């Protein structure tokens, strides 16, 4: 690896599994000290932090439910206390609850909005006092912001469209401070959120590349946006979907 992030500190929310864990590993491989939050996967979080440490990196696992604003704020504070600074914030935590609009529970609507949207705003607010020129804010969105693609996705699509819009506004707010803000929009990817092989088989013909994505491929885009070569990219929604939207 290039070690392009040597000396940097990153916080990744929702980093114990799936795309989040791949991002944690990739940023650590690039030389960053990493903190990451988890909600329910304590064993995975402990194992991931230990594995990064065994490879010579530094990782801190932080228990934090992104639906709780105070927990998000405390995760930012813990990162700065334990690792000394904060340069890169990756808002990756997200949940998917599917239901047709007529059957969608209001409690599920509120929780998905809290985790997928409010936590991004709270995390950025909490991180700002610690970020300097050259810092990066990256959010994991989804191609459903542009194409829902399947029934029962209306609320999930709304949350991902919201973070794409928020990203553009934040880029304007923070550009004068030299902080870039971008959102990545993965397409169908092999993760815990998409575990059904029958569903993957249904999706493959819809992909220009004829396959679903790998979490490591999504992490590679995050690593690029976190690094020095992306300094002129901000306010962008970058699709990484194997041609799903083509």
Taking only the tens place, the pLDDT of each residue in 4-14 is 999 999 999 99
Task: Determine the average pLDDT of the residues in 39-53.
Answer: 96
Residue 244 among the catalytic residues: no
CA distance 124 to 223: 19
- How far is 72 from 79, CA to CA, in rounded Å? 11
The average pLDDT across 32-37 equals: 98
Domains of the chain in start order, with CATH, are 9-240 (3.40.50.720)
Q: Is 38 helix (H, G, I), strand (E, B) or coil?
A: strand
Q: Helix 69-83 crosses helix 119-127 at what angle (to 10 degrees)? A: 40
Q: pLDDT (tens digit, 9 = 90+) per residue, 109-148?
A: 999 999 999 999 999 999 999 999 999 999 999 999 999 9
CA distance 206 to 105: 30
Specify the pLDDT at position 194. 61
Look at residue 204 in the predicted model and tell me its pLDDT: 87
Q: Are strands 33-38 and 59-63 parallel, antiparallel or unpaired?
A: parallel
Residues 6+ apart with CB under 8 A from 2: 30, 227
Catalytic residue among 38, 156, 224, 244: 156
Report if pTM > 0.85.
Answer: yes
Whether the Cβ atoms of residue 11 and residue 46 lie closer than 8 Å to each other: no
Q: In angstroms, what CA-CA distances link 196 with 158, 225, 233, 244?
A: 23, 30, 35, 18
């Amino acid at each position: 690896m290039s070690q392009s992030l040597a000396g940097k500190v990153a916080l990744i929310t929702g980093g114990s599994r799936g795309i989040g864990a791949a991002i944690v590993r990739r940023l650590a491989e690039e030389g960053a000290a990493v903190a990451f939050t988890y909600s329910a996967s304590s064993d995975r979080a402990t194992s991931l932090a230990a594995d990064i440490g065994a490879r010579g990196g530094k990782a801190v696992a932080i228990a934090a439910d992104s639906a709780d604003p105070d927990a998000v704020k405390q995760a930012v504070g813990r990162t700065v206390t334990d690792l000394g600074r904060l340069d890169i914030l990756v808002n990756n935590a997200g949940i998917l609850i599917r239901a047709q609009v007529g059957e969608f529970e209001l409690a599920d609507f509120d929780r998905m909005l809290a985790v997928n949207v409010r936590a991004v705003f709270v995390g950025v607010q909490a991180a700002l006092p610690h970020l300097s020129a050259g810092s990066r804010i990256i959010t994991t969105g989804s191609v459903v912001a542009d194409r829902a693609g399947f029934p029962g996705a209306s609320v999930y699509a709304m949350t991902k469209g919201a973070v794409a819009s928020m990203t553009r506004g934040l880029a304007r707010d923070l550009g004068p401070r030299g902080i870039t803000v971008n959102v990545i929009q993965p397409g169908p990817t092999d993760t815990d959120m998409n575990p059904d092989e029958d569903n993957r088989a249904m999706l493959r013909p819809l992909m220009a590349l004829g396959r679903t994505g790998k979490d490591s491929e999504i992490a590679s885009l995050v690593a690029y946006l976190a690094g020095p070569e992306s300094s002129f990219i901000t306010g962008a929604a970058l699709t990484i979907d194997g041609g799903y939207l083509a």
